[in-house]
């Protein structure tokens, strides 16, 4: 089972300042439109309920969420159809990457991602070129609250989780297989506060970056990929050494 990423934690904590607000709003809008198209009621649609919780965790205003739900429920339902896309390739230093996107135009997204790779020291690969290096997991972020590490671990295992990473700073993570994400998240309801739950690709054997110059190069590559309008998440097969944390 893939371990906890120090680099990912650092990036997550500073993300509120670095992220482009408009892209965050657009990302969650698309996700809500996709998972809520057939059933716009969060009471009966577990995936939509999770998507709403994730949007709120990223500080998407309630008004934005309400407008999308009304749109899904009404006569003005958006006719746009989004496709879920996954791209694979290698970034600087031969580091493998998995890129996920939601797009209404595949012919626009593919060349944009390919260009971002080639202009920033990477090579876009074919399907399966790096996927074998990653585990497809479900990651559930939770609030520790007043519970101890042992208590949280027991709750996680009883809910059907495969692993648990405790963080003394107040938020820990529960790890499941991707296919079990919804089931485990539902089993946690009422037992612990869930901040966010989402699928992730995590490297089985991440390359450790130990110098600042290489890390800067990799971060520049990631930023370029994230700037592609349709890209939602970038997962890299690396982590950083302790002296860079």
pLDDT tens digits for range 28-66: 888 888 888 888 888 888 888 888 988 888 888 888 888
The pTM of this model reads 0.83
pLDDT of 201: 95
- Of 66, 202, 69, 70, the C-alpha closest to 134 is 202
pLDDT tens digits for range 197-244: 989 999 999 999 999 999 999 999 999 999 998 999 999 999 988 877
Q: Which domains does the chain have, with CATH numbers?
A: 6-73 (1.10.10), 83-132+204-244 (3.30.70.980), 135-202 (3.30.70.980)
Q: What are phi and psi of 89, to 5 degrees?
A: 180, -170
pLDDT tens digits for range 163-173: 999 988 888 99
Average pLDDT value for residue range 153-159: 94
pLDDT of 78: 54
Percent of the chain with pLDDT over 90: 52
pLDDT above 50 for 17: no
């Amino acid at each position: 089972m893939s371990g906890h990423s120090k680099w990912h934690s650092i990036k997550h904590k500073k993300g509120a300042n670095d992220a482009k607000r408009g892209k965050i709003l657009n990302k969650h809008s698309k996700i809500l439109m996709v998972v809520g198209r057939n059933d716009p009621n969060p009471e009966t649609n577990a995936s939509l309920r999770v998507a709403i919780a994730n949007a709120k965790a990223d500080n998407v205003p309630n008004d934005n969420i309400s407008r999308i739900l009304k749109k899904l429920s009404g006569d003005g339902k958006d006719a746009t159809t989004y496709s879920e896309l996954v791209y694979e390739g290698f970034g600087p230093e031969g580091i493998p990457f998995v890129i996920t996107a939601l797009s209404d135009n595949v012919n626009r997204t593919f060349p944009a991602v390919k260009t971002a790779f080639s202009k920033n020291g990477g090579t876009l690969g074919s399907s399966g070129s790096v996927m074998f290096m990653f585990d497809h997991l479900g990651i559930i972020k939770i609030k520790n609250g007043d519970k101890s590490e042992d208590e949280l671990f027991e709750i996680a295992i009883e809910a059907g989780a495969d692993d648990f990473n405790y963080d003394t700073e107040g938020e820990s993570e529960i790890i499941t297989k991707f296919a079990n994400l919804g089931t485990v998240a539902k089993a946690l309801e009422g037992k612990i506060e869930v901040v966010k739950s989402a699928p992730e690709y995590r490297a089985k054997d991440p390359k450790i970056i130990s110098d600042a110059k290489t890390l800067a190069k990799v971060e520049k590559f990631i930023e370029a990929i994230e700037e592609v309008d349709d890209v939602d998440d970038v997962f890299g097969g690396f982590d950083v050494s302790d002296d860079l944390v």
